[in-house]
């Protein structure tokens, strides 16, 4: 099967942002976070993660800012709240291998659903204790207009502050990534 959206990954990234799967509008437009009600591009600029506002079709420009993009499920599209695309062990392994290969400082799931599905259980927003190699992992609130009820921009701002600070975890906070489930 072909990926709905190609990964936007390269070496020397600060951040890789990971959704569950491309939304239907993003799949149709062949651009990440393309729905007009999605707050993704606005929050990246508001938090200072990018210096100028970008439009979805300009997603490749994120590489200039040390930011990459991917999704847990690459071969199908859909909304988190609708029928969720099937997440397989191969999807988890693909993401883990990509992070191990490109070694960004941070992997941030762009919805609680994505983070919980990756880890195989309930999780809270914020930095997770697990690492993938030396990559710190965060779960951020969804920027989708469908998730307005759980929108918490302060968590995105806290994440951006951590990215800028580059503060390492203490050794007692670190543990290797362990996931349950398929």
> What are the domain boundaries of the chain?
15-167
State the pLDDT confidence band at 42, using cuts at 50, 70 and 90. very high
Instruction: Give the model's pLDDT for residue 167.
Output: 55
What's the residue count for the chain?
Answer: 182
State the pLDDT confidence band at 152, using cuts at 50, 70 and 90. very high
Q: Which of 139, 164, 128 is nearest to 14 (CA)?
A: 164
Instruction: Give the model's pLDDT for residue 10.
Output: 96
Could you tell me the fold of the domain covering 15-167? Answer: Uracil-DNA Glycosylase, subunit E (3.40.470)
**How distant, in Å, are the alpha carbons of 9, 63, 115, 174 from that of 127?**
21, 23, 11, 11
- Pairwise CA distance, residues 64 & 30, whole Å: 20
Q: Which of 94, 102, 69, 81 is nearest to 146 (CA)?
A: 81
What is the reported pTM?
0.88
Instruction: Give the model's pLDDT for residue 88.
Output: 84
Instruction: Give the model's pLDDT for residue 171.
Output: 40
Point out the least confidently predicted range of 36-40, 115-119, 124-128, 144-148: 144-148
pLDDT above 70: residue 34: yes
State the pLDDT confidence band at 170, using cuts at 50, 70 and 90. very low
- Pairwise CA distance, residues 114 & 99, whole Å: 15
- Residue 84: partners with Cβ closer than 8 Å, 6 or more residues away: 20, 21, 78, 113, 117
State the pLDDT confidence band at 81, using cuts at 50, 70 and 90. low
Instruction: Give the model's pLDDT for residue 138.
Output: 98
Mapped onto helix, strand or coil, the DSSP state of residue 8 is strand
Instruction: Give the model's pLDDT for residue 134.
Output: 95
Q: Which of 130, 127, 131, 126 is nearest to 141 (CA)?
A: 126
Q: Tell me the average pLDDT across 55-66.
A: 97
Instruction: Give the model's pLDDT for residue 127.
Output: 97
Looking at the chain, the whole-number percentage of residues with pLDDT higher than 70 is: 86
Q: Tell me the average pLDDT across 113-130.
A: 95
pLDDT above 90: residue 2: no
Instruction: Give the model's pLDDT for residue 182.
Output: 42
């Amino acid at each position: 099967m072909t990926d709905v959206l190609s990964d936007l990954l390269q070496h020397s990234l600060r951040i890789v942002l990971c959704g569950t799967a491309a939304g239907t509008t993003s799949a149709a437009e062949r651009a990440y976070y393309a729905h007009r009600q999605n707050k993704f591009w606005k929050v990246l600029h508001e938090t200072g993660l990018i210096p100028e506002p970008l439009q979805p079709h300009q997603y490749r420009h994120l590489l200039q800012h040390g930011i990459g993009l991917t999704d847990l499920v690459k071969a199908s599209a859909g909304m988190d709240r609708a029928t969720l695309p099937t997440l397989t062990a191969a999807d988890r392994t693909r993401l883990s291998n990509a992070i191990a290969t490109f070694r960004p400082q941070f992997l941030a799931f762009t919805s609680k659903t994505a983070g919980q599905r990756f880890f195989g259980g309930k999780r809270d927003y914020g930095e997770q204790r697990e690492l993938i190699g030396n990559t710190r992992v965060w779960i951020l609130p969804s920027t989708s207009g469908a998730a307005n009820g759980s929108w918490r921009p302060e968590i995105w701002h806290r994440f951006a502050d951590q990215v800028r600070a580059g503060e390492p975890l203490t050794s007692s906070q670190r543990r290797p990534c362990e996931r349950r489930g398929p």
